[in-house]
Structure formats: structure tokens, C-alpha cells
Structure 1
């Protein structure tokens, strides 16, 4: 429309006794936006859906936000009633007895995105609660939960209540201007003391089964700190006594449900120590460790100053899940509590900030360093149960992200992480020192001195002197003490090695799941990429410029080779991880297995300039019943070791030879290369766990760095099938030879 027509439309509408103000606003906005000398931001109506569906990604996070809103409104109770929640399409009604909202507040706060009202009014008016919400997006949690909303609110002291209806999916559609979406508001009569807000959420987007409800309860019960947060005088003066905040879900109260999901004193009493730490106003950090079980009461002041965090306090209980540290509670039950509730959480203004302290969150990098054995003490996240306190007044540099899941990782956050990590690490090491345990990998020549049975026997020997009257000679007691000591030393070494091995195998098992997904995805992309490479080749063939066509053909050829290598790896992984290949026990053709392995890595070997040789005699040689994936794993370990060895030796003509022969009831598979070789002293050690000479980073994606477990796994596989793995003298022209011996296929009767 022209400017003249827009003006005429507005003038005509203004002459009416009941003008259409929405039409006038729309026309005026069009007139303003048509000004060629100015521009301004506009908002698509679909942005509302993105705020709800994307910024508040998890359904239990969304529900927690709505509970926080009830808390902010000075509610003393909030009730959640689900109906038909077993599948999507049910309904949820959330009712609180808070202060409610006037129509002005609905317009200026509820209907305004990212309002600053909670910043301008950080405390609730009645109980002076520190408001949990800051970003003004909590209301969009209802959009995340359901497709329609009926909001009914009853403001305190007013005789009018208000209802607003929202149909998120139909009204807030992408392509519409947010200014053009209007929601109907209704007034109704009420008593001045009838207060609160009701949210009726219909057509739920997710099912809420028992597990989902349990997650909500855990979220509700841990929404506020598990231990009392200190209240400073400035927080208390002038407040009306806060009667508390109760939550009821489907008729079950928070107090009743706490019986099932509680962190009660019977569990906390099992902690081996309590750790309290703080940063004062000058940035000085101290930590105190108290353990009644070990008789420890120690403190430490850190040399680093923490100048950005502001005054911070944190408390945690420290658990060691072993029979020697637990009493009246089984080790498995305590460990399960640790897995469920363990971790150090962060609370801001009295409310929990996710994801810190979740089972999957490692914000202090404790799990990482324990798994890498940089820390040898029990110091996983599950070994700690506690919280860090932050407030807006004392810690102004900490801000939650717009999704309400995490803090902005600024310098203050990094400083806080260092403080908490230093405190828990120092405490765990102090406990380890008291228990005479090794603390980290950097401790050289550490010798543990636990009280062994041999020491008890030695004590008896010392008390009885040179002889005993009970018929047992001093010599016999001395021999018993020596035998017990030798046995214990052997068992302790084996146990320590086994624990290291098992921990690494657990990590490798977890890694295997990710590798399986990777192999599946690469395999799935092969057909699509191959087709497009063929189309690209056809397109290049039609290029008229000969020089350009040849250059493109070279690039296409290199891309073809790179993709072939990628698909080789993906196909190998997919085959290795498939259920039939990795789980089925069957007799394997040795020649077939070696040929398949060589074919799978043919492109890779050409790139590495390695010549492959295979010699199997007789060609009918077969293994005992075994997992095909295990033989692949053996060959891959040999291959990666060979590649790294030849690369380090800078061999000009690299070669690898695989052979196999029958040796009585066994099959012997040999693997040779012409790399650096293995000296006589190292031959016996290469199959030990964690022995490696290739820990440095390697630029090759297949060979990679060494972990010291590959050849140990090879040895274990051989032993499980009645054989062994050894290093022997190589054939002529080679420098290193491994032999993998297992039982052959049993002859048919």
C-alpha cells in the first residue's frame, strides 16, 4: 500500500466508535518500517517455539523452571497433577498459592521476552526470597512441555482474576510477525484473599512414565541444597518468616517421597571425612578436613588467591566404598548411593544449577584424571557428595546461560573450578597419606606399609621372645611370618596390576560403543558418497578446458583414494563390532581371516608403502571355536605396532609378513616386520600391562599412540584359547617376529 492509502486507512478506522486498534497498529508499523532511512529488528513468531523447545531442552529441566517460578512468587506450596501421562497427549496442571499476577504484570513480564523484572526486583516481596529466575525464559518451559496452555492467575489483594489462552503450535508459527499474534485475556471475579497461579498444560509433548516422574522427584528433592546453607545476617534481617516450600506430585508430598529418595544420615555417616572450604573477601582460600574414623583434623591455606569468585563456601562428604570404611551398610548399597547422588553440585541463590553434579558431568575433571591414573586415590565424582554456594550479591560474576543449564564459563568460573578441585584433591591425598596409600603417579619409590597378618605374627613372636611355652617354637612362628609376608607381597602386586588392567578395559569397552556408532555411520555414508564421486567424475569429463579438466581429475582421484581409505576403516570397524562377528563362537579359516584382514587395510598399507606377504600352510588350517573379532584384534595390534616400529626406524622399503602353520594340536600365526625390532631384555616385558614405548602422539589415525595394553590383550586372548604369545627370532630379511599360538580345530570323530 502507498503512504497515502495507509494514512486514509488509519483515518477511516479512527473515525469509528470502536476502532480496530490492532489494524491501526499494524498499518502504522508498516508505515514506520517503510522509511528508507531507518531499519529495526523484528521477531518471527516461531522464535517462541524455539525458546521453549531448544533453550529448555529437557522436560525435567522445564518442570524445574516452573517450580522455581512458584517459589519466586512467594508460594508456600505447588501441586502438580498429571493425567494420562503414560503417553504423549496427556495433560499437566500446576497450581501454586503464590502472589499471582495482575493484568499489568502479565503484559509487562509474562508477555515480554527476556524481561529484566527479576533483575530490578531480585527479592520476592513477602518472604524476601532470592529469586531463582533471572533470564525471563522460564515461562517458555510450558511451551516445551505441551502444545496448549490455559493460564489462570489470581493476584493478591485484587477482586479480579485473569485467564490467558495459548495455542503454541497454531498461533506462533514461523513466518508470522510476533507483533501480529494476540492472545485472549479474560477477567473473572474472585475473593481478595484467593491467590495463586494455575497452569493447565494440554497435549503434552512427551510421555511421563514412572522413570520420568522419578527423575522429576530427584530434581525437586535436590533443587535445594542437601546440607543447610549458611544464612548471613544481611539475608535475614527484615524478612517475614518463610514457612517453607512444599511440592506435591500426583498426590504424593515431597516429605513422603523423601523417604524413597532421601540422602539420610544413615548414608552420610558412612563418609570417611567431611571437607569444608571457603574463599574470603580478600581471595584467601582455606580447606579443613575432619575424619573421626581416622582421627584427622587438618587444615590448609592455599598460596593462590581467588580474586574473582567473591566469598564462596563449599562442603562435601568424602566416601571410600570399601568394606574397611563402611559399617552397618553394604559396600554395594553405598556405591549405588554414590552413583545415584554423588558429585559436587553448584547452588546459586539457594537453587541448584544443572548439570554440575550430574552422573554424566565431570566439571572438576576428577573422573578424567582418575581414569588416566594421574590420581591414584579414590577421587571420582561419586566419591564426593556436596555443594558449592553462590549468591548474586557475593558472587556477581557468575551468570547462568540462557538455557538455564550451566554457568557462563568466564574467568570467575575457571577460578572457582580450580579452588574446588584443589580443595578436594588435597583432602583426598591427605586421607590417602593417613591410610598409607599411594596418592598419584608422580610419587617415586613409594612403599605402602599396611598392617598385614605377617606383622601380627611378628608381634606375637616379639612378645614371646626366643621360645614359646605353648608347643609352637619361635622358629615356626618366624617361618609362618616370612611365608605370610611373601604371599601377601605377591597377592598385592597381582591385585594392583589387575585393578589397573580392569579399569583400562572398562574404558576400552565404553570406547567400543562409540567406535561402533562411528563404523556404522561411515558404512552408511559409503553408497551416497560413491554415487556423488561418480557424478563428479562424469561432470569433470565434460569440462572443455583440458588443463582444468586434468587438474580436476587429479583432485577427484585423490578424493577417491581418501574416501576409499575411510570406507576401509569404517567397514573394518562395522564388521568387527557387528553382533555376529564379535559374539559368535566358530572355527575360523586362518587363510581366510588373514586375507580378509589384508584386503581390509590394502589402501592403508599402500599409503604407508608397506608390502604385505601371506603364507599359510596348509591352506585348510582352522582355529578352535573362537570370536572372529578377537583374531582381528590380535592382527590389528600386531599391525599397528609394526607400522610405528618401521616409521621410527625410517625404513625405506617397509614389509610385513603374516604366516601360519600347524604345530601339533595348535595353530601358530606369525607376524613379522623390518622395523626397529625388540631387544632381548624387552622381549619378556612387552606383554605386560601398561608397558609401551610409543606413548608420544602419533599423526596416524590407525596406528595412534600406544597405551601399553595391546600386546597384553593379545596374550590374554591366546591364553584363553589354550596357547600363548611370544617374541621369537625373526626370519631372514625381518627384524621382529611375534608368534600367536592357539588350539586348532578339533578333529572330527
Structure 2
């Protein structure tokens, strides 16, 4: 009796490669998944060229590798996979991700030749440096597996050696590369690999602690050459938040985010128990229009990443501390559940400075705790952190409490800025819609009249439609529509009045700050006067002492006049101005009044404020008196500080000209000046001194008693100026100064 055996034609490899692995991008993803399943912590994908200039791909990982037996019995045996009998990886217990048994076909799909180099132990359950390791190298010439030949007849050249002190891992070198690569396909590849790179470390029962997984893509012809997918992932969401504790124990924060650019803040709050602390957090929003890099991130990949890998982890001296990051240790989800909208007092003041932000509701856009992806790093020099006996978290301490406060400060600050971004985006969409509506009606309309004009437009068109309806139905629709449009009108009127009031509330803070400085200077002067009066009391018959008393009395009178002037200015915005109406205000008269406020400083430091270039007939239209004072007070206050800090000829010049329907106001000074790169930054709230030289120079040139008057600014002034000017359809900007001047600010107002 004769027996027959099946044979396998080499065409099967090509057939399976085409059917199982449809694209080169999918093939590469599957190879990286194999690296992940092999418990690698890092894989490098390198696109390079060989000595002949041909492109080759290298996939290098530091996983378990394979023994010679595994290569022979599993990797080279078609339709068999050593993964079939297990669900997780051998070292870290990772859920297996790769499609079972198609790794060799992926290599075949990518190119026509493969060199496999793998280093592993006999049991295949160890990673890292080993005292003895099996080194196996095999070459696979896929083009020799031609149709008509039997797979088992093709020999693949291979070597096996044993080495000492080597690190486990596998390297695939693929040549004869397919020409299918595309930019769109590379983006798909990055999004798929980002899901794996999101693994930042986890501990699974019964296995070694998983330190995480990262992918580096080194491709000279694509996007700058070298891509770290972990970094790309961190920078792909709405924003990236970094912060550290400085030597004064303050939080120094930076947010780089979509739509608002790079923002910074240094907290007034001090975290006295913290040092050598830093953090980096990616802010991930599950909305496509709030992603900075959709080549790396998509809604689909984000929905895979956040449930498993979202959260702020803690690393203590480079080791992860559990369960931080897996739980709501920052009480983010708790506060979301309670609908907490109020930040702390410092951040409340910051929120007040941002246009359109309601401070009392500024935290309502706080994302879920899984949407913040990153690490808090506690360095070697940090004190006050002691691990519990079970190694699960820290023992309670002041440092641990302040660590939570520090991280929440940074996240709450970024949340307020995101609320601001949402408001600005809403305004941008409004302007687009306004432009489209203007095209429809073929006329320009003021921003505050869009709603009323749109309602009127609808009323006109609805009436045209109603005229063609049956009488009863037409009457019902007319009544309903009238009620709806009336509600819209009333709501719009209420919003406009509230917006005007909120703008004035923002202006109030600066006026009150100046008032506070003046009160402090009064107290200092009274203290000096008291000492002088004590001396005079010893001998009132002395003419010299009598003159001293008269001088003090004159000082009292002068200070009283200035204080009354400030009280009058403060009263302009201290009451409810929702019923106040904008008016026409002569500019020069208000400049003269503001100049008087600063006389104490300008006289003492010989500062000249020249506003002779402001014609008496320059009138600012449709503006509240308090708003104009806020503009002038903030601008002149900054110029005064700058000319004192510069220490040279101290001159401030104000000019104004009428240009069509606008007034152009120019403020020039001989102060320190600004770099052009800072022209925009100085208008960002809380950035009082972007170049770090103003207050350093002020300290060396001010008399100690005048620190209370001039002092360190809040960083709100120019931001408020810009908000007010923009609200009146004007502009404000720093420009390159004219000759003999160091700073020039140009304000354009109707």
C-alpha cells in the first residue's frame, strides 16, 4: 500500500503575505506588536540605506528574544505559533496584542530579504543582560521561494553561537523594500503605535513590574528624521503642562496648548515642604478639534489609551509609586462630580483677568482624571516622602499634602486657560457666523447688534412664509415665533449689560492696587512724621523745629490732596456701572489728572511726562470714564517703572493724532525697552517682566521706602488695557521705537 504526502508550494508565502497583511504599514505595526508581546521596553524602527544606497528597515527591540530552538520549531514552522497556548507575555504579564503566527509574513510583505538576529535564553522568560545567551542569526531570501518550488526545499543560512554578558532582544533587518510608503500611511502607523507607547508602566500580580514601552521612529525622509512616539503622544493632545518647584518653593508652570500658545505663571503660593519636584502632563480631550497632532492621535486611539493608561502617576527617585495614577488621588473626578467651579484665591484673580471667563465657574471644564496623562517626578533631594510598609503609597506628611496641592494648582491653572480657549473659540466661530450673515444681508453690522439684526431678519422671512399658510396655522406660528424672538432679545440685552459690568470689575482690581500702594506710602510717611514730631516736642521754641513742623504739615496737605484724587478715581468703578452709559471724553484732561496721581514718584525721581503733543480737541468716543482711566493708569505706571529702572534721562512722551474715525495715541519712553520677541508676551496676564530685568534694575535704583509705591507689578495691567481697547474695536501694540526712544506703545481707539 502506497502513502502520499502533502507538499507546500512556495507561492503560499506570497499568497498568505498578500492576504493576511494588506499594507506595509500594517505589516510594520504587527512586527512592533510582536516586540511588545516579547516584553520589550523599547523598540527602534529605523529607515536607512545599505552600502549600495538601497533602503532597508531595521526593527530592534530589547525583549526576551528567542532561543535557537524557538526559531527553528516555531518561527520557521508555518501555521504554528508559540502564542496560542497563552494569553499574556511571560515576564510582565502583558495582554498579547500581535496576530498569532503572522510575523514572518509581515517581514515578507515589507521586503524581499530578511536577516533575523535574536538573543535569548533557553526558557525565553528573561529580559535584560544575561550571563549566558544564545545568539541566532538567520537569512531569509524570500525571492528564492518561487512558485513551483517546495517550501521545505529552500535552505536559509543560519548560525548559532553562545555569548556572555549580552542583552536579550531581536533585530529584524529587511531589504528590498516595497515602494508603498506614504505620508498618510505613516500617520496611521504612528496612531497605531501610540496606543502601545502609552504604556508608562504598571504592576500585574504574579509578574515582574512592567516599566512601560516606547517606540522610536528614525526615518530621515519623514518629519524631521527621529520621532519619539512617547514625546509625540504627550504633545498631540490639547496641551502639554510642565511645572517645577523653584528655590523659593513656588510653582513655576508652563502650558503649551492649542489656540493659546505658550503660557507661563509663577505662583504666589509657596509650597514650603517641597523641593526637587517636577511634572509633565499631557491634557487629552476626546474631540478632534482639540488635538494638536491628528497624525499621532485620533478619537479612536484616544479611546483605547485613556481608560488603561490615563492618570497622573508619581515617580519617586525614578521608581513608580502605586497606586497614584490608577486612582483619583488628586480628587479630580470628585470635584467634577461636585460641580466645583471656584479655584483658590490666587487662581480666582487670574481667572478674573481673562476675557469672557467667569471666575466662579472657571473649573467646570475640568476633565476626567484619566484625561491627564503624565508623571510627577520626586527627585533625590526631596524630603518628607516615606513609603508605606506595603510599598503602596506614602505615609501622610506635609510634603505629601503639598505635592497634591502643587499638582492641582497646575491642573486648575491649565483648566482656567482651557476655559478661556473655549470662550475665544466660541468668539471666533461667532465672527465667522457674523461674516456669513453679513454676506447674506449685504451689509456690515456691529458685533453687539448681531442678535437683534438676525432676529429682525428671521422675523421678516418668517412673515413671508406665514403669508402662504392657512390662517389658523399662521396665527399659531406667529405667536410662538414672537415669544421666542422676544426671549432671545431680552437674554441678549442682559448679557450685554453683564459684559460691560464684568469689564469694569476687571478694571477695578488695578485701581485698587494703586490705591493700596498709596495708602501704604501714607502710613510710612506718618511713621516718619511721628518720629520728627517727637524730636520737635523737646524744644518747640526752636525756629528750626517750627520750620520742620510746617514742612510736615505741608506734606500732610499734599498727600491728602493726592489721596482724595485717588478716592475719586476709585469711586468711578467701585459702584455698579451696569446703568452707566459710555460718553465722549477729552483725552488731555484725563492725562493731566492721571499725571497728578503719580506726582509723588515723578517729582522724587525727576521724571518728565510730556503730553504737550496731545491736542485739546482729541475726544475718545463711546467709552466709560473708568475704562479710559484704567488704560492711562496702567500704561503710565509701566513707563514710570521702566524709566526708573533704566537709570538715565527719564522722559515719557504722549502724543495723539486723529486718523479718520480713530484716534492714534502713542506713548514713548526712555526706559529699558523690550525685545521684539516680547511685544506680544507682555499682554499675557501675570507676565509682569518677561525678560527678567525690570524689577532687578528697580531694586538697585529705588529708595527702600519707595518699594511700597512702585513695587512688583501684578502682571495684569497691560492685559486689562488690551481687553478694554479690543472691546471698543481698537488695537494696542508695541512697535519698534523711533530714534532716541526705547519703547513705543500705540493705542488706536475710536
Q: TM-score, normalised by structure 2?
A: 0.32
Q: TM-score, normalised by structure 1?
A: 0.32
